[in-house]
Amino acid sequence: MSNIYIYSPASAVRDKAAFRRGVKRLKALGHEVEIDADALRAHMRFAGDDATRLAAIGRAAASGADVALISRGGYGLTRILPELPYKAITKAIEKGTRFVGLSDFTALQLALLAKTGATTWAGPALGEDFGTEAEPDEIMLACFGDLLDGSAEGSGWTLPLADAKAHATKPKRHVHEATLWGGNLSVLCSLVGTPYLPAVKGGVLFLEDVGEHPYRLERQLTQLLLAGVLDAQKAVLLGAFNRFKPVPGYDRGFSLKSVTDWLRSKTKTPIYTGLPFGHVPTKVLLPVGRTVDMVVEGRDALIFWGHEH
Amino acid sequence: MSNIYIYSPASAVRDKAAFRRGVKRLKALGHEVEIDADALRAHMRFAGDDATRLAAIGRAAASGADVALISRGGYGLTRILPELPYKAITKAIEKGTRFVGLSDFTALQLALLAKTGATTWAGPALGEDFGTEAEPDEIMLACFGDLLDGSAEGSGWTLPLADAKAHATKPKRHVHEATLWGGNLSVLCSLVGTPYLPAVKGGVLFLEDVGEHPYRLERQLTQLLLAGVLDAQKAVLLGAFNRFKPVPGYDRGFSLKSVTDWLRSKTKTPIYTGLPFGHVPTKVLLPVGRTVDMVVEGRDALIFWGHEH
C-alpha cells in the first residue's frame, strides 16, 4: 500500500493515546507508517522549538513518502512562515508526496501556494481523525483512500435546505477553472496583508473554524469582505464552524445564520454552506491550489478537479 | 463644566445599572450629560441595527458636545465602516468635539485616521470606567479632566523592571514627531489589508487586548510583523492584555512574557510594556493620530503631544 510520514509542525501532541491509535489504524489499513523523530517533542505549547519543527518539516519533505500527514494542528506555523523550506516541499510534491492536514496547517498550505503555487491537501490529521476512540469516519476514510490510490477526482455534498433556497433563482451554476483555496478562517485572516496570502482571483474559497463565536467569525469574514477577497472569488464555501459557546441572553438571535445572511447581503459572490470539512469527523479532501470546476444544481454541489497529474 | 454626549456605536448595553451609575458620576463631576435616543437600544448583540447605530454616530457628531463618549465597546463597528459619516465626524472634531472610547471603538478611530487624518482619543467608556460599583480610578479621572479643561499634554508611566532591563543598553531614547496610533489588537488586525488601516510609517503604535490567550496575541502580533507594520514603527507600546484563561499543563511556559521576548527577537523596533491602557481601571488618554514625541530614560517613559490646538 502507501507510505505515510507522520510529523508535528505545530502544537505538541498531548493526547498520545490518540496518536498511537492513529498510527495503529493506518497500519491496519495496510500502510507503512514512518514517525518523525521529533513527532512527540514538546517545547511550551509547541512540538519542539521553531528550529526543531522546521527540521521536521524538512524531513517530511525529504521522506519520499506518498503522504506527509500532520499529527495535529493547534498553533505554531504562522511564526515560522519566513523560514519554511518552500523549495524542498515543492520538490517533494512534484515527486509525488501529498502534504495533508488542516487548521493551523492552513498557514503552510496558503504560504506555499503564494510562494510556489504547489498543491497541498486540506484533509484529516492523525490524532483527531485516525486516532478516535470510535471507528474513524467512513467518508473521511474513503476520501483518504481515493487520494492514496490516485482515484480522487472531486467531492460532492448536499446543500442544506436553507442554502438551496438562497440560490433558488439560479437553477444551475457552473464555475469553470477556478483555483480552489482556503482552510481555517482565523489562520487565513492572520495572513491578510502579509506576503503569505495567495492573491487568488476568480477562485473558489472554502472556510472552516472551530471554537470561534459567530461575532469573531463575522469580524473575520468582514475583514475578507473589506479587503476585497470575497468579491474577487467566484464562490465561497462554508464548512463546519463549531464548538463555540453561544452567550444566552446576549446573542439574542445573533448566530451563524445571521452572519451568513448578512454576508450574502454584502457580496454578490454566492456563498454555499454545508461543505463537509472542518473540525468534524466527516470531512472530504480538498486540493488547495488546484484548478477546479464546480457545479451547483438544486441541492447538489460538486467540486471536480479530474485525475491527478 | 463640559457637555458630554453618550451614544452606543457597537454592542448593546446590558448592564444598565452601570450605565446609570456612569451618567450619575459624570453629572456629579459637574458635567452636562446628553444621552442619545438610541443609547439603550438592542438588536441581537448590537445597540440597534446597523442603520440605528450609524444614525447615533451621526447625532453624536452633530451634538456640538465637548466629548462624545461611547457607552461601551463590544462588537459592531467593523461591519459598518464603509458607511460611517467620516466627514461629519471630522467636522465635529474640528469644531472641538473629542471622540473618546476604546476596544471595538478602535475600528472607528483607525478608519477615521486612514480616511481624514482626524484625531480621536483612546480612553474610557461610560459603563466600564465611570459606572463601576467602586469609585472610578483616580488616574483615569485626572486624565479625563485634563482632556476636558484642555491641559492634557502627555502621558507618562514607569516601565516594568524587566522592560527597563531589555533596553538597558539605551540609557535614553528620544522619538521625535511620530504619529501615535493603535488600540485594540484584535480590532486593529481585523483591519489589515482593508482600506481602513492607516498606513502609518515611523509611528508609535500602542496595543491592548482583553480575553485573548497569548497564542492568539502572538498570532496577531505575527501578522503585524509579517505585514511589515511593526518594523515600520519607531516604537511599539504594549498596554494591558488581561482576562484570558491560561491552559495549565498545556502552555508550559508559553506566556505573555515569552510572546514579548519572541517578538523582540524578530523586530528591531523597541517594544515597551506596561502602558497604562486597556481593559483595566487605570488608563491614560491617548490621542490617536496626533504627532507626539516620546522619551524613555531608565524606567521612565513619557509621551508628549503638547497643547491642544
Respond yes or no: is residue A133 known to be catalytic.
Answer: no
How many residue pairs bridge chain A and chain B with CB atoms within 8 Å of each other?
97
Q: What's the CATH superfamily of A3-148?
A: Murein tetrapeptidase LD-carboxypeptidase, N-terminal domain (3.40.50.10740)
Residue A308 is predicted with a pLDDT of: 61
CB contact under 8 A, B254 and A81: no
B128, B208, B212, B218: the active-site residue: B208
CB contact under 8 A, B251 and A190: no
DSSP assignment of B50-96: HHHHHHHHHHHHHS--SEEEES--SS-SGGGGGG--HHHHHHHHHTT
CA B3 – CA A294 distance, rounded (Å): 59
Task: Give all strands (DSSP E) within chain B, no chain letters.
Answer: 3-7, 32-35, 67-70, 98-101, 120-122, 154-158, 172-184, 204-210, 235-242, 271-272, 286-288, 291-297, 300-304
At B85, phi and psi to the nearest 5? -80, 75
Cβ pair A193, A309 in contact under 8 A: no
Of B196, B209, B261, the closest CA to residue B239 belongs to B209
Nearest to A252 among B45, B195, B219 (CB): B45
Long-range CB contacts for residues A90-94, cutoff 8 Å, separation at least 24: A90/A116, A90/A118, A91/A61, A92/A60, A92/A61, A92/A62, A92/A63, A92/A64, A92/A68, A93/A118, A93/A119, A93/A120, A94/A118
Q: What's the CATH number of domain B154-304, 3.40.605.10, 3.20.20.120, 3.40.640.10, 3.50.30.60?
A: 3.50.30.60
Of B100, B163, B86, B87, the closest CA to residue B128 belongs to B100
Q: What are the percentages of helix, strand and coil residues in chain B, rounded to 5?
A: 35, 25, 40
Min Cα–Cα distance to chain B from A143, Å: 31
- Cα–Cα distance list, B176 to B92, B117, B260, B271, B308 (Å): 29, 19, 24, 16, 18
Min Cα–Cα distance to chain B from A65, Å: 31
Question: Chain B partners of A187 at a C-beta cutoff of 8 Å?
Answer: 219
Coil, strand or helix at B161: helix
Percent of chain A topping pLDDT 70: 98
Residue B247 is predicted with a pLDDT of: 86
Cβ pair B79, A262 in contact under 8 A: yes
Please name the residue of chain A whose CA is at the shortest distance from the CA of residue B44: A252
Respond yes or no: is residue A31 known to be catalytic.
Answer: no
CB contact under 8 A, A194 and B254: no
Cβ pair A196, A111 in contact under 8 A: yes
CA B164 – CA B145 distance, rounded (Å): 30
Question: Chain B partners of A218 at a C-beta cutoff of 8 Å?
Answer: 75, 79
Cβ pair A279, A137 in contact under 8 A: no
CB contact under 8 A, A193 and B250: no
CB contact under 8 A, A254 and B226: no
Of A144, A95, A91, the closest CA to residue A122 belongs to A144
In chain B, where are the structural domains located? 3-148, 154-304
Residue B166 is predicted with a pLDDT of: 76
In a mutational test of the B interface, the residue from A15, A44, A259 whose CB has the highest number of chain B CBs within 10 Å is A44
Cβ pair B121, B10 in contact under 8 A: no
Mean pLDDT of A203-214: 97
CA A61 – CA A20 distance, rounded (Å): 22
pLDDT > 70? residue A168: no
CB contact under 8 A, B75 and A227: no
CB contact under 8 A, B223 and A251: no
C-alpha cell at position B167: 533596553
* Chain B interface with A: residues with Cβ < 8 Å: 14, 42, 44-46, 75, 78-79, 81-82, 186-187, 189-197, 215, 218-220, 222-223, 226-227, 229, 250-254, 258, 262
Instruction: Please give, one letter per residue, the 3-state secondary structure of chain A.
Output: CCEEEEECCCECCCCHHHHHHHHHHHHHCCCEEEECCCCCCCECCECCCHHHHHHHHHHHHHCCCCEEEECCCCCCCHHHHHHCCHHHHHHHHHCCCEEEECHHHHHHHHHHHHHCCCCEEECCCHHHHHCCCCCCCHHHHHHHHHHHCCCCCEEEEECCHHHHHHCCCCCEEEEEEEEEEEEEHHHHHCCCCCCCCCCCCCCEEEEEEECCCHHHHHHHHHHHHHCCCCCCCCEEEEEEEECCCCCCCCCCCCCHHHHHHHHHHHCCCCEECCCCCCCCCCCCCEEECCEEEEEEECCEEEEECCCCC
Residue A170 is predicted with a pLDDT of: 65
pLDDT tens sequence across A36-86: 999 999 999 999 999 999 999 999 999 999 999 999 999 999 999 999 999
Beta strand pairing status for B32-35 and A67-70?
unpaired
Residue A1 is predicted with a pLDDT of: 83
Please name the residue of chain B whose CA is at the shortest distance from the CA of residue A104: B219
As for the ipTM of the complex, it is: 0.97
A34, A128, A208, A212: the active-site residue: A208
Cβ pair A99, A68 in contact under 8 A: yes
Residue A127 is predicted with a pLDDT of: 98
CB contact under 8 A, B223 and A195: no
Return per-residue pLDDT of chain B as tens, 309 residues. 899 999 999 999 999 999 999 999 999 999 999 999 999 999 999 999 999 999 999 999 999 999 999 999 999 999 999 999 999 999 999 999 999 999 999 999 999 999 999 999 999 999 999 999 999 999 999 999 999 999 989 999 999 988 777 776 567 889 999 999 999 999 999 999 999 999 999 999 999 999 999 999 999 999 999 999 999 999 999 999 999 998 888 899 999 999 999 999 999 999 999 999 999 999 999 999 999 999 999 899 999 998 765
Min Cα–Cα distance to chain B from A70, Å: 19
Question: Chain A partners of B46 at a C-beta cutoff of 8 Å?
Answer: 254
Q: What angle do CA B178, B182, B187 make, to 5 degrees?
A: 160
For B272, counting Cβ atoms within 10 Å of its Cβ (0-12 exposed, 13-18 middle, 19+ buried), the class is buried
Please name the residue of chain B whose CA is at the shortest distance from the CA of residue A215: B75
Mean pLDDT of A107-112: 98
Coil, strand or helix at B142: helix
Respond yes or no: is residue A218 known to be catalytic.
Answer: no
Residue B248 is predicted with a pLDDT of: 83
